[in-house]
Amino acid sequence: MDDFFIIVIVFLLLNIALGLVRLLRGPTVADRLLSTQLFGTAGMAILMVLAGYMEDLTLLNVVITFNVLSILLVICLVQVWKKKKGDTP
């Protein structure tokens, strides 16, 4: 069973690495925004897998906190993007 957790975590880390490539190359701001969301989502998934492996439910509280922060990050980045483009709500 330990091998399963290791494989899942390595797969998620590879997703983060590919997201980093998209973050550096991505031609548009939307690509970069989505890759930052990928970092947050993959990071939360890694923490959830670790919570299952270590049988520690406090890591799930950390995941919930990161989820809220991730939502706030997207809202802030979209607001900055809109101001940069000159769009005002």
The stretches of the chain forming alpha helices (DSSP H) are 2-25, 29-54, 58-85
Q: Which two tokens stand for residue 61?
A: 């509280």
What residue numbers bound the domain in which 67 lies?
Answer: 2-85
In angstroms, how far is CA 82 from the centroid of its own chain? 22
* Domains: count for the chain: 1
What confidence tens digit (pLDDT) does each residue in 36-57 have? 888 888 989 999 999 988 988 8
CATH classification at residue 74? 1.10.287
Question: Coil, helix or strand for 62?
Answer: helix
Instruction: Give the pLDDT confidence score for residue 10 in this predicted structure.
Output: 92
What confidence tens digit (pLDDT) does each residue in 5-38 have? 889 999 999 998 988 888 888 777 777 778 888 8
The one-character DSSP state at 27 is S
Give CA–CA dist 60/38, Å, rounded: 18
